[in-house]
Amino acid sequence: MMTQAYYTGISGIKNNSTAIDVIADNMANVNTTGFRGYTTEFSNLFDETVMSGSVFDDSVGYGVQVQAVSMMKDEGSLALSDKSTDIAIRGDGWFGMQQNGEVVYTRDGAFTFDANSDLVSTDGFHVMGTMGGNIGEDDTLKFTIDSLPLGDVASQEKLRFPKNLTYPPKASTNVKFLGNLGVTDAPYNLATSVVDTQNNKNSLSIEFQRNEEQILPGSQYRAIATITSADGSITYDTQEGTVEFNETGGLISNTFTAIDNNGSPINIDLGEGFDGITSIDLPYAPGSTVADGTVGGELEGYQINKNAEVVATFTNGEQSSVGKIAVFHFENEQGLEKLSGTRFVSSSNSGAAMFRQDAEGNNINGADVLNFKLENSNIELSYGLTELIILQRAYDANSKSITTADQMMQKALSMDA
């Protein structure tokens, strides 16, 4: 039994020392963003069953061993940040990063755009996700995306964006005019800005003049549409048409079709009935216009929104998603192989990375991604100190058992003498 006490005490010291090292590492990272703490699980090294007088068996252990060092899955608290590229995951999931062909996973969302406008971690790992496919080879935005879905897991790539991205001009193709001409002989004018293919903002105006001779029961107007440069120095086209209303003031016909906007045609839409231009005996009210087309713009910068999408903002006020940060999931995230306190790689225990899916089978992040926030370590100092005290007491108890066994052995040997 005295020999058993030696082995029991030594195994206790050795394995409690391992547990103390784990707790010490946890405590050293209480301020590390995205840190995942670990806890030590013990089991008996040997076990002997001793029959007792009850229906249950009593067992006597012959030492202890570390059964597992397991990742703690608790989420850390959130810290506010002043950068949209600082993001945090609420719920299960991991950001994926790549460098030199190796994919690692982390909860540390302290990202930034480097000198090449690549989205990277603070230590230079490229963040992985789905590119929007809307950036042309000439660094021109081909089309806008309001919401970008995730691609397949295997198709995730480094999120890399051009430093200089251009939003191309979209020439105006249609202008709708709305307003009430009234029933007086006073001219009525409407004007709006339109965009041509050369990215110029021009002016389209229409003047309505009531005909001197009216054919009842309706009313008729002569209208002149003109497109000029913004400063009025150049006239690109002038079109003249007639507009006719019924006896209640609703539009029944007009002869306008299209007008040339410095090389591109624009359809003039005066509406129909009471949806558009009318001629009703009401007090004067200013009209309005609705024109499509957008002037071109240059990139102001990239930001990350609450849907984990990388959004490009342009000087013309337009925005578009150009990429989406992926959130990966695992069957057993505790099986991830630890590289550091915040960096992990997949293993046979964790299973391969995968995406969550919605009811329609579309890939989704499966967790809330919050921008302007970072996830703190999931270890609190008070927890670490409490665990350290417990393990230190266990270590001392095992040390005392060895000392006691040694004293008993010495006493036994002196009795033989």
Please give the pLDDT value at position 64: 66
The average confidence (pLDDT) of the chain is 87
Please give the pLDDT value at position 55: 52
Please give the pLDDT value at position 142: 95
How far is it, in rounded angstroms, from Cα 40 to Cα 20?
Answer: 9
Q: Which residues contact 417 (CB under 8 A, 6 or more apart)?
A: none
The yes-or-no verdict on residue 24 having pLDDT over 60 is yes
Query: Count of residues for the chain?
Result: 417
Please give the pLDDT value at position 208: 96
Least confident of 17-26, 294-303, 312-321, 396-405: 396-405
Alpha-carbon distances, residue 240 vs 243, 246, 254, 268 (angstroms)? 10, 21, 10, 12
Mean pLDDT of 349-358: 94
Label residue 188 by pLDDT band (50, 70, 90): very high
How far is it, in rounded angstroms, from Cα 171 to Cα 164?
Answer: 22
pTM attached to this predicted model: 0.75
220: closest CA among 246, 186, 188, 190? 246
Alpha-carbon distances, residue 18 vs 24, 66, 342, 343 (angstroms)? 10, 8, 20, 21
Please give the pLDDT value at position 104: 96
User: Which has more pLDDT, 218 or 64?
Assistant: 218
Please give the pLDDT value at position 15: 64
How far is it, in rounded angstroms, from Cα 398 to Cα 41?
Answer: 17
The yes-or-no verdict on residue 84 having pLDDT over 70 is yes
Q: What is the pLDDT of residues 62-74, one digit of tens each?
A: 666 666 777 888 8
State the DSSP code for 232: S
Alpha helices in 57-167 (DSSP H): none
How far is it, in rounded angstroms, from Cα 26 to Cα 114?
Answer: 31
The domains of the chain are located at 2-74+377-416, 79-167+298-375, 174-291
Label residue 414 by pLDDT band (50, 70, 90): confident
User: Which has more pLDDT, 96 or 39?
Assistant: 96
Please give the pLDDT value at position 268: 95
The yes-or-no verdict on residue 384 having pLDDT over 90 is no
Indicate the Cα dihedral angle 375, 376, 382, 387, nearest 10°: 80
Helix axes 381-416, 2-28, angle to 10 degrees: 160
Helices (H) and strands (E) in the chain, counts: 2, 34
State the DSSP code for 109: -
Coil, helix or strand at residue 401 = helix
Label residue 168 by pLDDT band (50, 70, 90): very high
The yes-or-no verdict on residue 11 having pLDDT over 70 is no
Please give the pLDDT value at position 72: 87
Label residue 128 by pLDDT band (50, 70, 90): very high
The yes-or-no verdict on residue 322 having pLDDT over 90 is yes
Please give the pLDDT value at position 57: 55
The b-or-e profile of 168-203 (16+ CB within 10 A means b, else e) is: bbbbbbebbbbbbbbeeeeebebebebbbeeebebb
Q: Cβ–Cβ contacts within 10 Å for residue 61, how many?
A: 14
